[in-house]
Structure 1
């Protein structure tokens, strides 16, 4: 301790005595606060929780849990006070796992994190469990059935798509699907009457939605340009994507996935998989989870009070989807429209 530091400590002690505070007691109190803060980090609580459970687990299982925490959780939130961790912070950490394809592992790690937070609650170090709110936002349940692409895989995909010489109508359908995040069935069944090109919105009626609630989709400038090109191709029909053989019916259910198959992506991605890709990218960028979930029409029944507002977060979602369209354009050198020809 330098002379100047010693004098500063002496002056601080004199000040505390003048205020009626015992300096030695104050030091003990400060140490206690530091110790409490140190013991209240997520990592400290997780290790303590792990210690209470380890005798009930096999050696391999116990090792797997701590290895997952060391690799995927502690480096990002390990030193944060357990009571300060918000759902979005934890979700972004878990998204890192999903983004590299470890979706099932991410689900299991979320469950273990939830147990840690519950332990923190019962030991008086946290007031709520942010992991419990993430079930609907996790994408692992889709991964078994809907293969998806990571950001790193997008450039090669768009290069392959640009080389596809089949139906321009189906290619535009695939690109509009990617830029809006709607479900494949919602896209195929679209009617021109649902689009307001001046306001750049697409209103899907409740009867065509999975959750049976109307859904308002903001259109980025890129998505709007695709819709305008589609208007030239199929504007004479009620359906935006009429079938080749019978324009009174929508294009076949397999049309979009057939394109992916023909450009070499069988088993690697589906139309629905791009919803996962979009969700991952937007979460990684830090966009509001509520905006993302609303854009994907993931309606949380427990969150709805009174009349459902299908225009929820519209302006925020418009900004978000414009950012996403710009991002996709940069990543994939996105060619908006193939040359117009018969379909």
Structure 2
């Protein structure tokens, strides 16, 4: 059959299958268009797939091209593969499809799955999420992590590289690819090798930092300020504090029952004796929460959760060091004064450094090491940790009160 004959058939508008040869058919539609169909038998079942619309390239498929596609699919059938199933799998398997499978596994196996979810959503998905998983190259991932590093976030760049490695390992498990395009890349190709952080604030620096925060409530809200005070005084993790619910607190008994479900993986739940000095701060938050079940309710309506974003405190603190928030950057604000440096704090610190600060200042106040470790819910190491399961509640209460009394001088 030649092109002229095919062109004539395409105008039939009768919806019949016209055999072109070698399992290739042309089906004229009532709309006036015609589709190429490949018919075949797989596992004793009669099947068909559409190869494209009849017409000139690039929108249409010519007779010559249709025969090539039919031959290719016939070869797949002979090799024991189902072209229809193969197309279905290929069509669906983007990086995002695989990433969602990996994130589902993360939710089952790590304590804070929102962290990799956030990095994927913000820094990976927009750039490679829509790509077919088998089309992503090492260069694609290298460009992605370099883009993050160039934005001044080397730690996030390293995290993104690690997540990419896991996502493409998941693709190998699903038999979608044979090689991991991220495997050859190392931290030096992303954010660089990271040294363990040692930054902690001396009492004199705490005094300065809190003063800067109080003096710039347009950038650092009262809620943020109280959160910093609580992190310094209690030594809990940021994620444990911002997700706290009021039903965990008994302000009359001065007690916070931090449930195991919200502690770092493998860390036990903890009964925290609340120092006298933090009770007024919590009572103020209770009023500011406006009947929310959360201590730090979300400031905007969110379908994801009822408490503030993981980045809220980080971004607010960043603005005091001259780093514009995402919202400010969208408004064209690309530079801010470094208020902390102007006030005398030469070395920047992060929200997570406040936990290290709490532990360091407890040591400075001569709190025994085993008690101080329990204050921040660390496991006691070695044989002592195996045999000493005592929670040191009274000792922790005394230690945190001593620390809070000192910190309150700067509140």
After TM superposition, the score normalised by the length of structure 2 is 0.42
Distance (whole Å) between structure 1 residues aligned to residue 267 and residue 392 of structure 2 = 19
Aligned to 2:400: 321
Aligned to 2:131: none
Distance (whole Å) between structure 1 residues aligned to residue 365 and residue 392 of structure 2 = 18
Superposition pairs of residues 5-20 of structure 1, within 5 angstroms? none
Q: Is the 8 A contact 1:146 1:270 kept in 2?
A: no
Equivalent in 230, 237, 257 of residue 292 of structure 2 = 237
Going from structure 1 to structure 2, the CA distance change for 1:173 and 1:195 (only over 3 Å counts) comes to same
- The CA deviation at 1:306 is 8.0
Distance (whole Å) between structure 2 residues aligned to residue 313 and residue 328 of structure 1 = 22
Aligned to 1:180: 234
Deviations 1:108-157 (A, max 9, x none): xxxxxxxxxxxxxxxxxxxxxxxxxxxxxxxxxx9744743223322211
Distance (whole Å) between structure 2 residues aligned to residue 273 and residue 258 of structure 1 = 15
Distance (whole Å) between structure 2 residues aligned to residue 162 and residue 191 of structure 1 = 25
- Aligned residue for 1:231, secondary structure, equals helix
Distance (whole Å) between structure 2 residues aligned to residue 280 and residue 165 of structure 1 = 28
Distance (whole Å) between structure 2 residues aligned to residue 226 and residue 203 of structure 1 = 17
- Aligned residue for 2:233, secondary structure, equals helix
Q: Is the 8 A contact 1:234 1:242 kept in 2?
A: yes
Going from structure 1 to structure 2, the CA distance change for 1:228 and 1:193 (only over 3 Å counts) comes to same
Distance (whole Å) between structure 1 residues aligned to residue 277 and residue 349 of structure 2 = 22
Q: Is the 8 A contact 1:295 1:317 kept in 2?
A: yes
Distance (whole Å) between structure 2 residues aligned to residue 143 and residue 199 of structure 1 = 42
- The CA deviation at 1:170 is 2.1
Equivalent in 161, 164, 177 of residue 216 of structure 2 = 164
Aligned to 1:208: 262
Which one has the largest radius of gyration? 2
- The CA deviation at 1:168 is 2.1
Going from structure 1 to structure 2, the CA distance change for 1:219 and 1:232 (only over 3 Å counts) comes to same
Specify which structure has the bigger relative contact order, considering alpha-carbon pairs within 8 angstroms and separated by 6 or more residues.
Answer: 1
Aligned to 1:338: none
Q: Is the 8 A contact 1:200 1:219 kept in 2?
A: yes
Q: Which structure has greater helix proportion?
A: 1
Please list every run of 5 or more consecutive structure 2 residues that lacks an aligned counterpart in the other structure: 1-193, 322-339, 342-346
Task: State the Cα RMSD in Å.
Answer: 2.5
- The CA deviation at 1:301 is 6.0
Q: Is the 8 A contact 1:221 1:322 kept in 2?
A: yes
Q: Which structure has greater strand proportion?
A: 2
Aligned to 2:203: 151
Aligned to 1:300: 380
Aligned length: 189
Deviations 1:232-272 (A, max 9, x none): 11151111111111374220111112232222359711222
Superposition pairs of residues 79-90 of structure 1, within 5 angstroms? none
Q: Is the 8 A contact 2:374 2:380 kept in 1?
A: no
After TM superposition, the score normalised by the length of structure 1 is 0.50
Distance (whole Å) between structure 1 residues aligned to residue 289 and residue 198 of structure 2 = 29
Q: Is the 8 A contact 1:146 1:272 kept in 2?
A: no
Aligned to 1:274: 354
Tell me if 1:258 matches 2:315: yes
Please list every run of 5 or more consecutive structure 1 residues that lacks an aligned counterpart in the other structure: 1-141, 335-343
Aligned to 1:286: 366
Mean CA deviation greater in 279-288 or 176-185:
279-288
Q: Is the 8 A contact 1:190 1:241 kept in 2?
A: yes
Going from structure 1 to structure 2, the CA distance change for 1:306 and 1:271 (only over 3 Å counts) comes to same
